[in-house]
Amino acid sequence: MKTRHAILVAAAEVIHENGYSGASISKIMDRAGVTQGGMYFHFKSKEALAQAVMTSQQLFVDLPDAPDGLQRLVDMSFEIAAELRKNVLFRASVRLAVEQGEFGPNDDTAYVEWAHRFHRQLVAAQERGELLPSLDLWEFAKVLVGAYTGTQLYSNAASGRADLPQRLVWMWRFLLPALATPEAVAALTIGPSGSGAAA
């Protein structure tokens, strides 16, 4: 398990630096300090390794703990934005999930794992009476993952993700009325933590 983790971190670093097509198994072995035998025990090909990096996003981000519910869901979106800017392993993993055309698989694991994580907050929000009645929380979770993915891509193309927090404020402005009670929306802080008021 420890070797596997070291290989995944090394692979994310090398893919970050060289892109998928420029990354090689031997570079990754050097970086991880593993032998060919150790590498092939865990991963049989560059494709398999890239797929593992892509589906290990939850391994690369460590979001702060907080009580579950709607505020936590909104806060997570801004915490993920901060991770995208400062955490190269996470960024490499996200990039692989988006650029799957380059290495082949159609694998939605990375998307589904985020949907599960958002869904958990939605269930808590529902239990706290923060949501509108008769919602399909799983549908909303999948819409949120899609909306988030494209928002961060557009922001990356527009500003290298510098304007991502502002775009997330807009995204929430147009998603919350279908999701939460007016009272719950009014009680939310929508912005990066420590930023004070919403942008």
Interaction between residue 98 and a second copy (CB under 8 A): yes
Q: How far is the CB of 2 from a second copy (least distance, A)?
A: 30
H or E element at residue 142: helix 137-159
Q: Is 150 in the site for a second copy (CB under 8 A)?
A: yes
Report in angstroms how near the CB of residue 138 gets to a second copy at its nearest.
10
Asked if 178 is part of the footprint of a second copy (rule: CB under 8 A), the reply reads yes
Cα–Cα distances in angstroms (integers) from residue 143 to residues 39, 118, 170, 184, in the given order: 37, 11, 15, 20
Shortest distance, position 109 Cβ to a second copy, whole Å: 8
Q: Are 12 and 53 in contact (CB under 8 A)?
A: yes
SS3 64: coil
Residue from 151, 154, 196, 142 nearest 172 by CA = 151
Site size for a second copy (CB under 8 A): 45
In the complex, the residues that contact a second copy under the rule CB under 8 A are: 19-21, 95, 97-102, 106-108, 110-112, 139-140, 142-143, 145-151, 153-160, 167, 170-171, 173-179
